[in-house]
Structure formats: C-alpha cells, structure tokens
Amino acid sequence: MLPVEPLTLLAFVPAGLALNLTPGADMMFCLGQGLKSGWRPAMAANFGIATGGMVHTLLAALGLGALVAAHPAAFEAIRWLGVGYLLWLAVGALRASPFAREAQVVPTTPAMAFWQGLMVNLLNPKVILFILAFLPQFVTPARPILPQFLTLGIVFALGGLLVNGAVGVFAGSIGQRVARSAGLARWLSRISATIFGALALRLALMPRN
C-alpha cells in the first residue's frame, strides 16, 4: 500500500509544482550560483537545497518543527544565523570582484556549493513553517504520519530539483560564456553578491507570521 492515497498524490503534485515555479530564495540562490560558478555548482547547490528540505520535512514529521515554531527565540536564532551566512556568501562573491584590475572570478566547487545550498535551506526557519502549513493539508490522519510526510517531501523536492535545476543550468550557460571576459566576470561576481545580499535582507525583514 502506498503511504499516500493516489488521489491525494494527484492533487499534491500540481499544487507542489505551482509552488516550485514561484520565484523564491531557493531559485534565486541557484541562479546566483549558476551565474558565478557555472551549471555544475548550481546543480550541486540545488541538491543541497533539496536535502535541506527533506531534513525540514523529517523534523516537521517528528514534531520538532512545531517546537521551533512555538518558541520565538529559537526561530529568531535560526533566522539570524541564516542572515549572517548569506551575508558571508555575498562578501565572498564580492572578493572575487574587487576594484583591482587583476581580480578574477573564483568559482565555487560543486562540493562547496552543495553544502552552501544545504546550509542556506537549513538556516531558513520559514521553510519548516511552510512545510508545517502545507504538507499536513495532504496528510490522512488514519494512515502512518511519518511515511506520508516523507513521501510528500520527496515529491516536493523532486519538483524543486527540476525547476531550480533548469534555472541553474540556464544561468550557468550564460555565466560560462561571459566569464571568458575578465570585466564581465567581475560583474557576474557582483551580481551574485547582490543576489545573496538581497536574500539576506529578505530573510532579515521577513515577518515571523
């Protein structure tokens, strides 16, 4: 027997895909990585984000997400750690484009991009609040809760992999073409830094509820 009823899954897939297609922090992070370092790091970041989403899903299913949601101090601590981490990434991208003429883009390796994507996702408490609000709408109380959460989380993560992956690959193809020029490469790093900084600002200003 499937963990989730087939009709419920059929309703969940288009709803989840519609949310995946909505531009958000994950999509913008993959965009920034693609522009800065190419499609491989962008895809690695994409898988890191998906892994973080599954961790959030597991925490929500185990009840830890509700604990974080109920304690403002824990929420704020995670949020400001996320803001600080995004700002650190923005500064790192800017260091690849200082005003010195010899500055060149320093690409992010796929392994590093994976961990960056994972940390950006894990340090965004809004993700777990979203999961707590969205996934239970498709959970049947009469069935085991954990398998349903994990199944829905996997489906949602797959949709994100497809959508954010397409964005990352597209941005990577553009980035690799213009990176042959030192001047354009410096601007790519600045654009990436702006994206990471904007994500930090968005997370800092985002209301809790």
Q: Is a pLDDT exceeding 70 seen at residue 109?
A: yes
Could you report the per-residue pLDDT of 25-52, keeping only the tens digit for each?
Answer: 888 899 888 888 889 999 999 999 999 9
Of 102 and 205, the one with more pLDDT: 205
Could you report the per-residue pLDDT of 74-96, keeping only the tens digit for each?
Answer: 778 877 887 888 888 788 777 75
Q: Shortest CA distance to 61 belongs to which of 114, 4, 103, 10?
A: 4
State the pTM of this model. 0.76
What are the structure tokens assigned to 25, written together?
A: 């922090």
Place of tokens 């997370």: 203
State the average pLDDT over residues 138-151. 85
